[in-house]
């Protein structure tokens, strides 16, 4: 009886072990499911913003808030790992045609910032023009800003009280196409960048050159119900444009800066 019980117990142990082995092999053969790629969530609204004539107090007309806006640049310092960075102190959003490329005796905006429009749901109605005054590049190092930046960029020194929008001191952009980015809430912008160039000797100013480049536009949605210092209610929104270009395409000979320059335009608007 005892022998029978021992044999029975041994048989049960063998069966249990075999089942465990088979089960473990079966689980090892199971391939875990591949995680599905998340579908991007696009949440565009229907905001439309226009500058009008920039009449103060008209809340339907949006004004560039230059004080809280910026145009930043960065590029590699040749021969070193660090970046050269800076900003342009003077810029605007106006289509500067040839007849407007002048010196303006003013400390404010020389031209109205009215050459733009933004439509959140219809990019075909979005466009913009912009410019910077090259000699107002500000790196925080006066010796560089008034020295090698002026000579290296082929521009002229700042004249106090004058806004220099002449060909020698102007770089400008103009959008030619704005499209939805299908993967984000952003927009893909094709634009033309116009800047002067040098001749092959790198000593003389050449005719302005225009290159087509592609950038990314982000919309920071309208925020309303803000209260100004005078107690008026107002709204704000923002546009951020980023792009890069090769400065050698424009004949820039400076050996202090690398080929590729990154630009970030942070434009804030209000309807005061």
Domain with 89 in it: what CATH number?
2.40.128.110
- 116 in a domain, yes or no? yes
Report pLDDT for 35: 64
Contacts of 238 (CB under 8 A, 6+ apart): 219, 220, 266, 267, 268, 269
Report pLDDT for 80: 80
Cα dihedral sign, 254-255-261-266:
negative
Report pLDDT for 17: 54
- 5 in a domain, yes or no? no
**Tokens, residue 242:** 């980023």
Report pLDDT for 188: 98
Total structural domains in the chain? Answer: 1
- 246 in a domain, yes or no? yes
- 189 in a domain, yes or no? yes
Contacts of 54 (CB under 8 A, 6+ apart): 61, 63, 112, 113, 114
Q: Which domain holds residue 68?
A: 50-270
Contacts of 117 (CB under 8 A, 6+ apart): 48, 49, 50, 51, 125, 126, 127, 128
pLDDT beneath 50, residues of the chain: 1-4, 12-13, 16, 19-27, 200
Cβ contact 176:190 at 8 Å: yes
- 141 in a domain, yes or no? yes
Give the pLDDT confidence of 92-121 residue by residue, as tens digits: 999 999 999 999 999 999 999 999 999 999
- 35 in a domain, yes or no? no
**Tokens, residue 238:** 């923002």
Pairing of strands 63-64, 70-77: unpaired
CA distance 205 to 208: 9
Report pLDDT for 203: 57
């Amino acid at each position: 009886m005892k022998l029978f019980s021992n044999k029975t117990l041994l048989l049960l142990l063998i069966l249990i072990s075999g089942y465990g082995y088979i089960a473990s092999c079966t689980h090892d053969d199971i391939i875990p499911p591949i995680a599905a790629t998340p579908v991007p969530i696009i949440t565009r609204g229907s905001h439309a913003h226009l500058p009008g004539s920039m009449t103060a107090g008209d809340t339907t007309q949006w004004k560039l808030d230059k004080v809280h806006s910026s145009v930043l640049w960065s590029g590699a310092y040749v021969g070193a790992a660090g970046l050269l960075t800076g900003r342009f102190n003077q810029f605007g959003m106006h289509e500067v045609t040839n007849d407007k490329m002048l010196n303006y005796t003013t400390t404010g905006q020389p031209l109205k910032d009215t050459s733009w429009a933004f439509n959140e749901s219809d990019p075909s109605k979005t466009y913009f023009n912009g410019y910077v005054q090259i000699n107002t590049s500000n790196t925080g190092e006066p010796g560089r800003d008034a020295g090698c930046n002026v000579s290296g960029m082929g521009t002229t020194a700042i004249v106090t009280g004058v806004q220099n929008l002449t060909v020698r001191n102007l770089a400008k952009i103009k959008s030619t196409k704005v499209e939805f980015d299908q993967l984000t809430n952003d927009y893909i912008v094709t634009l033309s960048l116009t800047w002067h160039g040098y001749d092959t000797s790198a000593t003389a100013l050449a005719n302005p050159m225009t290159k087509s480049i592609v950038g990314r536009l982000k919309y920071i949605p309208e925020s309303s119900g803000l209260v100004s210092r005078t107690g008026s209610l107002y709204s704000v929104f923002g546009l951020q444009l980023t792009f890069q270009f090769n400065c050698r395409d424009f004949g820039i000979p400076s050996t202090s800066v690398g080929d590729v320059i990154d630009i970030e335009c942070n434009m804030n608007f209000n309807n005061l």
